[in-house]
Every structure is written in C-alpha cells, then in structure tokens.
A and B are shown apart, each in its own frame.
Chain A
Amino acid sequence: MVQYAALRLPSALLVLVLASVVIFGILRLTPGNPAVVLAGPDANPATITSIEHDLGLDQPLPVQYLRWVQGLVTGNLGHSYVLGAPIATLIARGAGNTLELTVGAMILALLLGLTLGILGATTRNRLAQFLLMVVNTVTFAVPTFISGVVLVLVFAVTIHLLPPGGQLSLLKDPSLGIQFLILPALCLALPVSAVVARFLQTSMRQVLQEDYIRAAVAKGLKRHLILLRHALPNALPPVITVLGIQVGQLLGGAVIVEAIFAWPGLGQLILHAVLSRDYLLVQDLLMLGVLVFIVLRTAAEILQAGLDPRIRLMG
C-alpha cells in the first residue's frame, strides 16, 4: 500500500499543478480586464490602475501565478470585490454547510446502497429482483434536478412533512436542522446509492460463489453472519474505488442540489461568483473543488490497494 501510494502520489500532484495552471489561465482568457469590470462603467483610469495594482495585474504572469499559489497554500485567498469580504471568510462560511450536506448525503447513500446491493445479490424472488432493477435504473439515470423537484413536490408541497428549502446548522439546533437536511441530502444521495448498489451487487454475487462461503454455510453459520462478516468485507474493494469517484461527483451534484433547496453552500457561492464575474472567487473555488476531487480519488485508489493486495500498478 505504501509502495503503491509512493507511485500514485507524484502523478496526482502533477495533475493538480497542471489543473492550477489551467484555472489560473481562466482569469487571463476571459475577455475584458477584470479591473475594468470591477471598477464599473464610469470609473476613472486612476481607480482602475489602483485596482489593477491591488489584484497584482500589473505584475508579469508567472509572478501573478506564483503569488496566487502562495496565497492558496498560506490561506491568504484575497478579497472579493463584488461581495466585499475576504474570500477565506466566504469559503469558510459556505464550506461548513456544503460539508454538512455532502456528509449527510454520503451516509444516506451508503445506507441505501449497501442495503439495496445486498438485497439484490441475495434475493431469489423474481419480482423483488425486477423491482430492485427498476429502482436502480431510475435512481441512477434521473438527474438530481428532477429528483429534487419530485422530493419537494411530494414531501414539502403535498404532505407538508419537511421544509422545501433553506438551512439551519445542525450544531445550533439538531432537531430542526435535520429536517432541513433530509431532503437535499437524500436528493444528492440517490445517484450515488444506485452506483454503490450496482457495484456491490455484482461483486457480492461473485464472492458468494467462493469456496469459503460454501464452507461457512456448511458449518452452519447464521445467514446474516455469513453475509455481513464473510461476504461483505470481501465484496467491498470495487465499491470503495467507485465511491472515491462518486464523492467527487457529489461536489458537482451539490451545486445543483444547493440551487434547488436554497442551501447556502459553496455551490451557491460559485454560481453567484460566475454570474457576477467575481473571477478571483471563481478561481479559488474551482481550485478547491479540483483539490478535494483529486485527493478523494487518489485516497480511494490507495485504500483499495490496501484492501486488495492483488492490485498492482499496470503500465
């Protein structure tokens, strides 16, 4: 596992550095001078020059890039002119909410996915198999912006069980906060749970064919013990890899889910930043998103290598 990590980490780091160059380039590629956009239509040249100086736009490009990366590493992310606040503060405020949403979604996705996956691998009932397949196809295919609207329509508008949107921190008021969290987290969890169920079902079916399972059955172990203690751990490695990728996709999904449920997280922040042309904020948020995605994906790959010693580096 350590050896695999040593081989895998440099290439993840390289991708990260290249991605940061691309993201930095976004600010350069956009038509128009950001300082002119920020200063507004009637600004005098002196104001523009001073904003240019503040943003460091009067420096050569490599210097600007290195200063930006230095800021990212030291946590000095700059100032959002549009929102009038330090970017670090804005991100810290949204990150807590997005984290709450994604962790909630992850827990629901695992609960749903593992349950449906085990059911799918073990049931012999044709009707149950068919129903599980239909549920899986639909939850896998239907985009979050549709399932979200359906959830609001059913649970908020029709039966008035849960609020249709908004957010309250779980830390402040757990019992009320969770009511706001359930629908968005479920919406974000559905596609992930379908992928988890699909991969677990396939790998569990294979594991159940193994000799040690037959041995466990033969010595009279209880059914749930065989499934949970013997089969499940051995069926997990492919699920963990796909989970690493899916957690990254949760970040993308969070943008849409936050828009449906008016959840004040990083997704809302980046959309606001794009629409108000707050480029420095866009740049920092994109970098954060890519960083989290690559870290999770690499961690999942290394973890999988640790769980399954048969995995060797190919090519």
Chain B
Amino acid sequence: MAQAGAVDIVRVPDRLAFTRNRYLRALQTPRGLLGLGLVGTIVLLGILAPLLTPYSPTFQIRLQELLPPSGTHPLGTDELGRDLLSRVLNGIRVDLIVAVVAVPAAAILGCLAGLLGAAGPGWWDTTIQRAFDVILAFPAIILGIAVAAILSPGERAIVVTILLANVPIFGRLSRDALISQREREYVVAARLIGVSPVRVLFRHIFPNVVDPLIVQLALSMSLAVFLEGGMSFVGIGIQVPQPSLGNLLNEGLPYLATNVNYAVGPMLTLTALVVGLNLIADALNAGVLRR
C-alpha cells in the first residue's frame, strides 16, 4: 500500500469527482442524490408557494367545499372550501422554519454547553450532564406534551421542544469529542508553542470533531419535521386555521373514505421530507464517518 502507484490509484477518483469537498462527495452517491432531490424539491415548493398557487391558504370559497382534484384545484378543496394545494405548500413553510432555524440554533447551544462542560470546572460538567439526563428521560413526543402544557399549544411550543430535544444530543456529542481530543499530541503541541486556546479550539480541534455533528444535523432536522408533524397532528402544535403538514393530515383523516386527495398531499410531502433527510444522513454517515 505504501507504493507510489497505489497512491495514484487512490487519487484518480478525486480528480474525476465534481468536488474535493468530502461532504459533497459523500452526497454524490445514489442515496445522497435521492435524498438531496427529495428535500430540495420540497424546500423549493415551500419557498415558491405564493408563486405556485393563486389561492390564499385560508380563503374559503363558498359552495366549493370538498371538491375532487381538478385543473383549478389540483388537490381539490377542504370542508371549508379552501384550496388544498395552497394549504399544503404553505404548510411546508412551518417545517422549513423549524428545521432551518430551530435545529441549527439547538446545535450551537448544544455545542456551547458541551464546550462549557469539557472546558469548565468538574462540577459544571456534572451539572450539565445531569440536566441532559433529565431531558433525555422524556421520549420526544412526551417532551412536546410537557412543553405544550407549560407554554400552551402552538408554534412556540414546537420550537422549544425541538431545542430541548436536540441540545442534549449535540451537547453530548461535542463534549465527548472535545474530551477525547484535548490530550492528543497535536493539541498539546499547539498549546506548547503558544497558540491561543481559542485558535486551538477552532483551527485545530474543530475540523477533527465536526463530522459527527454534521451527520447529526441532518438526523435532527428529520426529528424536527417529525416533532412538528406529530405535535400538530395530535393538536398540541400548529393550530388551525394556520396550515401545517401535521394538522392537515389530521383534518384529512375523517375524509379518507370519500376524499382521499385531502390526506394525500400532506402525506407525500412529509414522507418525502423525512425519508430525504434520513437518506442524506445515511449518505454522510457512510461517506464521511466510516472511512
């Protein structure tokens, strides 16, 4: 393996690949591309929602209730005469907000907590770990119920639940990674030659511990979509008339026998979103972590 020729053989795919970035390369697998395609489509649909449909998601058209799919209403209308396509597309937007805002916020807070635990005095670490234990003692949906009981049901309860559920995950990951790295020779060497602790942390340690965090980011986004859907589905999340994929699915439930089109939109969208995010996490996991 130490021969020069072997090195060249390894390098060929590098030059052929579209990019040298290891994340992008991990995503250039069938799984990764399928995941990106699914998630990308849904994200675009959510962003472009106002351009794609002329109807407001809450506008009720009289005498147009529970219409089957047609040219003017591709997914039909609901029991109050609202355009279902418009409700689904606008429902995506809630998920985009929770996935794109709440999850990275949780990641940053979690890493900060992990850093405090790993770098601070021992009793900080113990306190933070015990707090994480307590949060992790609640299964995710039960945590959502507890938060909804305190804050009353709504978007705020969903965002807080996502923060609470994800901070311990990122906190544990980053703390364990930092503790495993801080006695390594390259860290000790950097400290000895006088590199500032902040620079050691960001320029030396960070690149070595970031991969599991990136994979977790994709998994946590899928968890966030699950929590939004689940909480809204059982009535403690987004409240009607504001549409969300979860509460749309719940509203479509009584019409499964007569108007299947009601439930199909939110069902397909949610499935594409969570399966896509899981595929991305799988691809990153296989391509970046297991090397």
The residues of A with any CB-CB pair to B shorter than 8 Å are 11, 14-16, 18-19, 22-23, 26, 29-30, 137-138, 140-146, 149-150, 152-153, 157, 164, 248-249, 251-253, 255-256, 259-260, 270-271, 274-275, 279, 282, 286, 289-290, 293-294
Contact = CB atoms under 8 A, between A and B. Distances in A.
B130 A282 contact: no
Contacts of A11: 133
A137 B149 contact: no
B198 interface: no
Contact of B236 (A22, A29, A153, A274): A274
A64 B75 CA distance: 54
A15 B130 contact: yes
B48 interface: no
A152 B230 CA distance: 17
Interface in B249-266: 249-250, 252-253, 256-257, 260, 263
Interface stretch (B20-28, B76-84, B112-120, B271-279): B271-279
26 contacts: A11-B133, A14-B130, A19-B137, A19-B138, A22-B134, A26-B150, A30-B150, A140-B278, A143-B230, A145-B229, A145-B230, A146-B267, A146-B270, A152-B253, A153-B256, A153-B260, A251-B139, A252-B141, A259-B234, A260-B253, A271-B145, A274-B148, A275-B235, A286-B142, A289-B138, A289-B142
Nearest to A15: B133
B253 A256 contact: no
Contacts of B253: 149, 152, 260
B149 A143 contact: no
A255 B137 contact: no
Contacts of A137: 275, 278-279, 282
A145 B246 contact: yes
A289 B139 contact: yes
A22 B164 CA distance: 13
A21 B233 CA distance: 29
Interface in B219-256: 222, 226, 229-230, 233-236, 246, 249-250, 252-253, 256
Contacts of B146: 23, 26, 282, 286
Interface string B202-224: 00000000000000000000100
A271 B274 CA distance: 25
Contact of B130 (A18, A145, A290): A18
